[in-house]
Amino acid sequence: MAEKLSPEQELSRLIPVLDAIGDLPEIEGKLISVDTFYSEVALEAAKHGADIVNDVSGGRLDSDMHKVVAGLKIPYVAMHMRGDPSTMQNSENLTYSDVCVDVARELCVLAGEAELSGLPAWRMIVDPGIGFSKNMEQNLDIVNRLKDIRGEIGKRRLAMSRVPVLLGVSRKRFLGEICSQPNAAQRDAATVACVAAGVFGGANIVRVHNVRDNRDAVRVCEALMRRRK
């Protein structure tokens, strides 16, 4: 388990990098996403060029997060996770009646809380949280049933029926378990296969390490889907 950083530690690492990235000519036209569950980090990061806040807790670990992001008027990625990074794989957090229905329901609860804080549904992106409070089989079910998750979200909250779905499978441990590959850096081929399955299943955004290979995979998926119409 990675060391939990304080807001001050996160900012000491983030701000110099954000400032340096902002000065690069290559960054023009590109969006910068900052991964944090601290509202004060989100606020400062936005002042230094962050365009998106990606919160693995969906607002559960900082009660001010939704209000702060609402004030920033930038997109917000709400990820599904039970507990916190130190408890998320406990047996109680891995117990679902139907992982896809339960994930959708819990994401809708987060969305409702965000809306009450002034963060509109149309500024939200949802992430079902691959590898967070899920075992290997549950991760596979989510990738296979992204359309069911979106459908369940839309049924429960009409305003979110077209919410973008972000899928983060890149180099995840469950791929290593399937492929008997303990070295995360050697899981790129498995990642490409899983990303393709996710795109066919309805993922709108994929978060990856190896951009080139996965970009090509997404382009092929899109070309194939266009031929279906």
Tens-place pLDDT, residues 100-150: 999 999 999 999 999 999 999 999 999 999 999 999 999 999 999 999 999
- Worst-scoring range by mean pLDDT, 3-7, 41-45, 127-131, 162-166? 3-7
Confidence at residue 167, expressed as pLDDT on a 0 to 100 scale: 98
Domains identified in the chain and CATH numbers: 1-24+31-167 (3.20.20.20), 169-229 (no CATH)
Confidence at residue 3, expressed as pLDDT on a 0 to 100 scale: 75
Average pLDDT taken over every residue of the chain? 96
Confidence at residue 4, expressed as pLDDT on a 0 to 100 scale: 84
Q: Report residue 11's pLDDT band, with 50, 70 and 90 as the boundaries.
A: very high
| Closest among 50, 45, 56, 59 to 4, alpha carbons compared | 56
pLDDT over 70, % of the chain: 99
Largest CA distance in the chain: 51
Contacts of 170 (CB under 8 A, 6+ apart): 187, 191, 195, 206, 207, 208, 209, 210, 214
pLDDT over 90, % of the chain: 94
Confidence at residue 2, expressed as pLDDT on a 0 to 100 scale: 64
Tokens coding 217: 């995979």
pLDDT tens for residues 182-227? Answer: 999 999 999 999 999 999 999 999 999 999 999 999 999 999 999 9
